[in-house]
Amino acid sequence: MTIDNREDAPEISHEEICNYIAEKTGFDYDQIDIILEHGVEYTNNHEVDEDGEVRIDTDEQVAYIKRQPHVTLSEEQIETILDLELEFLVEKGIATQVED
């Protein structure tokens, strides 16, 4: 995943993303919130490249999130949440998906 660090990116709320994922999956809102918070933490610990982008390895991100306290979902469920987050961000023009 690549997150564009653009000034003109539209503003979205955390609640909007959580609701989007909850509607699509039926997963517990609080668990979605926890997963996304740890996902942001993971992303924020990566440097922005010369193109203003942050490149994320999803497998490493899932492993990081799964190790965090209060995470009760499976790796598959975490991947689903992250995939839907990416889908949402791509729809909003905030991220692009890059296959390695």
Residue 7 lies in a domain: no
pTM of the model: 0.81
Integer Cα distance of 39 and 88 in angstroms: 14
CA distances to 44, 46, 49 from 54, rounded to whole Å, are 9, 7, 6
Residue 4 lies in a domain: no
Residue 72 lies in a domain: yes
As to burial, measured by CB atoms within 10 angstroms (0-12 exposed, 13-18 middle, 19+ buried), residue 45 is: exposed
List pLDDT tens digits, range 30-75. 999 999 999 999 988 888 888 877 778 889 999 999 999 999 999 9
Domain region containing 60: 14-94
